[in-house]
Chains A and B, each alone.
Chain A
Amino acid sequence: MVAMEAKGWIGASVPRREDARHLLGQGVFAGDVTAPGMLELAFWRSPVAHGRIGAVTRPAGVFGAGEIGPVTLLPAGPDMPGFRQAPYPPLADGVVRFVGQPVLAALAATRGAAEDLCARCEVEIAPLPAFADVPAALAPGAAVLHPGWADNRYGSGHVKAGDVAGLDAPIRIRRKLGLGRQSAAPMEPRALIAVPDRRTGELVLHISSQGPHVLRHALAAMLGLPESRLRVVAPDVGGGFGAKNRLMPEEVVACALALKLDRPIRWVEDRREHLMAGAQAREHLYDLTLHATRDGIALGIEGELWVDAGAYALWPTGAFAEAGMAARNLGGPYGIAHLDVRHHTVATTKPPMGPYRGVGRTGACFAIERLMDALADEVGVSRYEIRRRNLIAKLPHVTAAGMTLDTGDYPAALEACVGMLDLPALEARRAAGERVGVGFAIYTEQSGHGTAEWAGRKARVVPGHETATLRMHPDGSLTLLTAIHNHGQGLETTLAQIVAEELGLHPEAIAVRHGDTGLSPFGFGTFASRSLVFAGGAAKAAAEMLGAKLRRIAAHFLQADLALVELRGGRAWAGAASLPLVDLAHAATMRQERLPPGEPPGLEATADYCPPEDAGVFSYGVHAAVVRVDAETGAVALEDYCVAEDCGTMINPMIVDGQVKGGVVQGIGTALTEELRFDAEAQPLSTTFADYRLPDAPSLPEIRVLHLVTPARCTVHGAKGVGEGGAIAPPAAIASAVEQALGLGMVVTATPVTPRRVLSVLP
């Protein structure tokens, strides 16, 4: 570990270029886009969780399944025979399977008028049995949600390594644990407008999306369009966090109707729709047994986990990645060699599950960290000490599930985090009778994983590479075109820093454009903490190619040895002689007769990047939460929150801080307030921000972040992904802190830790 110092533009906290337009209110989000003749779309959504559609009465301007034009459903979920199919129809076809599922589509000049049309629709629905959670869905005799299924499982898997049964460990701790259901809840709900372009014959879809290219592929296949006739533009996107990275029925309906009617169609999701019918997340259940020695050394984990994936599999992956990833990550940062975990992806009559920041690992971290706390209690050591004893001491380390934890120093991070706290002062307050406590949790976060890793998961889309085009214009200015998407991550700034470093320019000299299939090469978009590693790698490679050509031309102009030519400060230098890049750009584009013999004209480089190691690189961190609990009301007040984290080389430390803090606060929401609740009939009970409570400023302390920097071996500049890590550990840390504050053992087994849950665990 070393202190991070800026080297040129790498490691510099460059202010974000994205800020100016947003601070003036000049960002353009999909819901800001209009077109002449536009119709607004509203949906008549199912009021019941499960039922058979009968007679439908509706006014003109309302469309049902089969009336929006030809649509081909796509298989979704892992590409393996054992995974059952549950394709999500754009409009319900015969059966509805969750409250909020789109049934009818209404078009009118305004959203209000379209909703009026919905109010005049009458749909007979004969109720079928609802099952609102995993136990109900898997109960003997439960109705089966999809035709041809033997039970309500999409699929199951088994992660097995070593021999847990043969361990004969003296300590076995069995616990049932669970994580609540959540919404990613970006501040901008989903929004889209599909506009037929009569000049090009394209359908242009402006949509709040994390990955326009992959979305285009699916939409084109569903609509029977060549991809060349569908352009997807994701303009400014008001947060995604995973919720805008799956194919959803609303965009299929809007595009189909735009094609059918040859008119622009806009749909802007309202918050109620987002909370009741957007992609949902988390809701894991665990029944695990931890095997350990009497010294508190964890040896193995066995058991089962279930993920409530809802009624349909969202293209492309369904929710299968969630359960498998949770199972593989159960060992956490500990040297647990034996793993025997069966995982199940279960269908219920609830909205479909999608990815959400931390995918799988927030649950896995909660499970293993809760078990470690129980182990500490069992062997009579502190919860800090149990971690010190079990952390992997030396990296690289191949986990029981086969993941290679690459670089870093986990014990040092634990010590660093403890060093951020005043534990004796906290102990003194506890001794004085205050109900305060500290909890620790440690996470790892895989990022930058490549082709073999994704293919091994049987993914239908294998995001193992990313491509960038760097273009120098005749006047010497530059545009980087990339297929990742920037919706808060600051990538318009950091990618410019990477190119600037390579070409000896100021980042301001490089325009970064993204989010438009009509502009950039194909690529996968922003998710899985991948964009800086992948798009940064592609941008650097493209800059190297362009830089090499600039140097060749400069060597010719300066009559210098190529090896002596360097790019610096917007000029090409050979010793004391130099010339501005604009001269080279002009020659390469407008006056190609000046180029060295054999040098082709043009200054454009397209580079593809995949990390040289497929296994990915692992960021990690230690979180500590300090809470004060009111034993009368059960209210938990967060007093302090500390993070000691290592995401490798930081391109822009200010932005890394923002990613970590933002992730932590989302994890605090998981821990304390956020839960999509349903009644026994699977009716949603959390459909406004009054019922689904996001963390707010007064309820939070400053999040204190310490960076440890161990560069990755195989990525550009040694960077690792950082987008998701903050959201992984807070539920585990906060649950542990609450117990210490109350002087209890490991009794908090589910999130969110609401006042009601706190009161329920008090003796």
Chain B
Amino acid sequence: MTRLCVNGETHDLACEDRDSLAGVLRDRLGLTATRIGCQHGSCGACNLLLDGVPVRGCLVPVALAEGQAVTTLEGLRDDPVMIRLREAFTAHHALQCGYCTAGMLVAARDLILRGRATSAAEVRAGLAGQLCRCTGYDGIVAAVLQAAQ
């Protein structure tokens, strides 16, 4: 059995060694905010937090998450930075189809908490690993800057 602590709840699950954390969260726990865009760590749609640090959920074998706190977007609903980010994303039209959004928010929150969202150039650099196919990124950059204030 694999014991996962996800958003404060503990789950004991029979997993295969090859299962990814993102896959288990989606298929076994129904936590579908974690999107899967490439399955090879390039797009960032599956970002989540392991002990507070953003990781690619698609690249994390589920066994590696044992003993660490897993936080998905569902678990950040009342997070104060996330609340500011949600308001700013709407105000700046920082999402269109919504598929990259969860991963983008997790990455943006981390930039803000690390104090790395002080200029547009810094935000762009900080979002280097996050692909969005719809917006062209301008709205996202503006939203992150606003939420960082």
Bound Cα distance from A239 to B18, whole angstroms = 29
Which of A19, A270, A488, A697 interacts with B89 by CB under 8 Å?
Answer: A19
* Docked pose: A283 CA to B36 CA in angstroms: 28
Contact B137 A665 (CB under 8 A): yes
Name the distance in Å between A76's Cβ and chain B's nearest Cβ.
Answer: 27
CA distance A20 to B73 in the complex (A): 13
Q: Are A658 and B97 in contact (CB-based, < 8 A)?
A: no
Tell me the B135-149 residues at the A interface (CB within 8 Å).
135-141
Residues of chain A with a CB closer than 8 A to B34's CB:
25
Given contacts A238-B35, A271-B40, contact A662 B136 (CB under 8 A): yes
With A and B bound together, what is the CA distance between A205 and B140 in angstroms? 33
A-B contact pairs, 11 of them (CB 8 A): A16-B90, A19-B90, A26-B33, A32-B26, A237-B97, A271-B39, A658-B139, A666-B133, A696-B130, A698-B124, A698-B125
How many interface residues does chain A have, given as a range? Answer: 35 or more
**Contact residues in B for A110 (Cβ distance below 8 Å):** 27
In the complex, which residue of chain A has the Cβ closest to the Cβ of B121? A698
| B124 surroundings in chain A (CB, below 8 A) | 697-698, 700
Asked whether, in the complex, the Cβ of A187 is within 8 Å of the Cβ of B90, the reply is no
Which residues of chain B are near A236, meaning CB under 8 Å?
97-98
Contact A187 B128 (CB under 8 A): no
Taking CB atoms, residues of chain A closer than 8 Å to B134 are 187, 239, 488, 658, 662
Chain B residues at the A interface, C-beta cutoff of 8 Å: 16, 18-19, 26-27, 32-40, 42-43, 45, 72-74, 77, 85-86, 89-91, 93, 95-102, 105, 120, 123-125, 127-141
- With A239-B133, A658-B139 known to touch, is A23 a contact of B99 (CB < 8 Å)? no
By beta carbon, the residue of chain B nearest A191 is B36
Q: Tell me whether B130 and A23 are in contact (CB under 8 A).
A: no
**Residues in chain B near residue A654, CB distance under 8 A:** 93
Least CB separation from B130: chain A residue: A697
Given A239-B133, A688-B42, A23-B97 contact (CB < 8 Å): no
A238 near B99: Cβ-Cβ < 8 Å:
yes
Q: Do residues A270 and B39 form an inter-chain contact, with CB atoms below 8 A?
A: yes
Give min CB distance, B32 to chain A, whole Å: 4
Which of B42, B90, B138 touches A15 (beta carbons < 8 Å)?
A: B90
Q: In the complex, A34→B31 CA distance in Å?
A: 12
Which residues of chain A are near B105, meaning CB under 8 Å?
23
A108 cross-chain contacts in B, Cβ below 8 A: none
Identify B37's interface contact among A187, A241, A272, CB under 8 A. Answer: A187
A658 surroundings in chain B (CB, below 8 A): 93, 96, 134-136, 139
- B100 x A187 contact (CB < 8 A): yes
Looking at chain A's contact residues, is the secondary structure mostly helix, strand, loop, or mixed? Answer: loop
Pairwise interchain contact A23-B101, C-beta atoms closer than 8 A: yes
Q: Which residue of A lies closest to B86 (CB)?
A: A23
Is there contact, CB below 8 Å, between A187 and B136?
no
In the complex, how many angstroms separate the beta carbon of A29 from the nearest chain B beta carbon? 7
Are B40 and A655 touching (Cβ within 8 A)? no
Nearest-neighbor residue (CB-CB) of A688 within chain B = B40
- Known contacts A700-B124, A702-B120; is-contact A185 B133 (Cβ 8 Å): yes
Least Cβ distance of A270 to chain B in Å?
5
Q: Are A697 and B141 closer than 8 Å at their CB atoms?
A: yes
Instruction: Indicate whether A690 reaches chain B with its CB closer than 8 angstroms.
Output: yes
Cα separation A28 to B26 with both chains bound (whole Å)? 12
Q: Shortest Cβ distance from B34 into chain A, in angstroms?
A: 8
Contact present for B98 and A18 (CB under 8 Å) = yes
Given contacts A186-B133, A702-B138, contact A238 B97 (CB under 8 A): yes
**If the complex has contacts A16-B93, A661-B138, are A25 and B32 also in contact, measured as CB distance less than 8 A?**
yes
Q: CA A112 – CA B24 in complex, angstroms?
A: 12
Query: A657 on the interface (CB 8 Å rule)?
Result: yes
Nearest residue, chain B, Cβ from A704: B138
CA distance A30 to B71 in the complex (A): 23
- Is the beta-carbon distance between B131 and A696 smaller than 8 angstroms? yes
- Tell whether, in the assembled complex, residue A24 and residue B77 are in contact, meaning their CB atoms are under 8 Å apart: yes
Q: Is A489 an interface residue (CB 8 A)?
A: yes
When distances are taken between beta carbons in the complex, the residues of chain B under 8 Å from A29 are 32, 35, 99
